[in-house]
Amino acid sequence: MRPMTRALSAAVVALVLACQDSDRPVSPYPATSRTTAAGSNGLSAPSNLSAVASSPSQINLSWTDNSPNESGFQVYRSPTGSPDTFTRVATVGVNVQTVSDNGLTALTQECYQVRAIRVSRAGTSYSAFSNTACATTLTPPIPGAPSLGSNSESSGGRALLTWRDGSDNEDGFRIYRSTEDGTLLNLAGTVGANTTSWLTDQPDCYRVVAFNAGGESGPSWPDCTRPAAPTNLTMSIDGVLTWTDNSAIETAYQVWYGWEYRCGDWRGDTELLAVLPANSTSYPTGYVRSDCYGIGYYVAAYRGNYSSDWAGVDAP
């Protein structure tokens, strides 16, 4: 019956270790434990515990195994190293002397202790804890700069910024108000990692930067809010253009025409016909039909030097 007894004991050890490796933090000294002094019951405390940060999110631990008959080791972590702040983060098997703690926050100190554990039919025994070893996670690389995709008027005269995320390690993005030539002014907003849009009630010029614990990326190119484009552009038989004004922030409208010579030579050209005040919705072009010219008209809203998309219509 002895082989069966040994097999049963091994199964019990595996089961107890699995149960003890819960994700829920526990006290370093559970009420059911029997913490023994170094060397008692053959369980000596691990020694020479070292903690070395290998990345912004990982610390590698190693220690010396001083027990000939442990069932495994328990690894505890604390942000300060104070005795009552340690919680268990891992349980590893017999003779294991290294472990990596992942998913940590960059530039953050973590402290560790390790103890041996033995599970038997008589109960669970623990060694004393090892020395305390601390390490600070590394500084992450500065994230790549985003590129601003659009700064366009949204409903109600608001501005909607969109950009392309240029990194995979940012903690978030900062949106700075800027001058038209790109000089950064004040911080206007902050959004989280992987966010690629921002809505504001203040149409203006903006630049976007990515940031993490390592610092800020370079800024995107500056872009100023572009007004919403006119729609429903039509032209009457007597040459009057009409359109729907969709912008609450435009400062002017521009009317252009482009013509194409159809009597012999084929060529095109464009010409600015008029600059109209904000809120304009019509313009009499004075167009007279000609068999030799095909003419198209184009209207856009402007806010300063920034135009909306163009609306176009062919002359009848």
Output the tens digit of pLDDT for each of the chain's 316 residues: 444 444 434 444 444 444 444 433 444 444 333 344 444 567 999 999 999 999 999 999 999 999 999 999 999 999 999 988 999 999 999 999 999 999 999 999 999 999 999 998 888 999 999 999 999 999 999 999 999 999 999 988 999 999 999 999 999 999 999 999 889 999 999 999 999 999 999 999 999 999 999 999 999 999 999 999 999 999 998 899 999 999 999 999 999 988 765 565 555 678 899 999 999 999 999 877 766 667 889 999 999 999 999 999 988 8
Interatomic CA distance for residues 183 and 128, integer angstroms = 60
Collect all residues with Cβ–Cβ distance below 8 Å to 235 and sequence separation of at least 6. 241, 242, 285, 287, 297, 313, 314, 315, 316
What one-letter code names the amino acid at 255? V
Which phi and psi angles does 18 have, rounded to 5°? -65, -45
Interatomic CA distance for residues 171 and 169, integer angstroms = 7
As to burial, measured by CB atoms within 10 angstroms (0-12 exposed, 13-18 middle, 19+ buried), residue 268 is exposed
- 231-314 is classed CATH 2.60.40.10: yes
Check residue 274 and give its pLDDT.
96
Distance of CA 60 to the CA centre of its chain: 26
Check residue 268 and give its pLDDT.
63
2-136 against 147-224: fold identical: yes
Helix, strand or coil for residue 156?
helix
Distances (CA, A) of 16 to 90, 119, 303: 14, 7, 71
DSSP H or E stretch at residue 190: strand 184-192
- 147-224 is classed CATH 2.60.40.10: yes
Q: What is the CATH T-level fold of the domain 2-136, as seen in this structure?
A: Immunoglobulin-like (2.60.40)
Task: Specify whether the CB–CB gap between 281 and 231 falls below 8 A.
Answer: no
Contacts by 10-19 with C-beta closer than 8 Å and gap 24+? Answer: 12/119, 12/121, 13/71, 13/119, 13/120, 16/71, 16/119, 16/124, 17/71, 17/72, 17/91, 17/93, 17/117, 17/119
Domain boundaries, the chain: 2-136, 147-224, 231-314
Lookup: tokens for 261: 């010579």
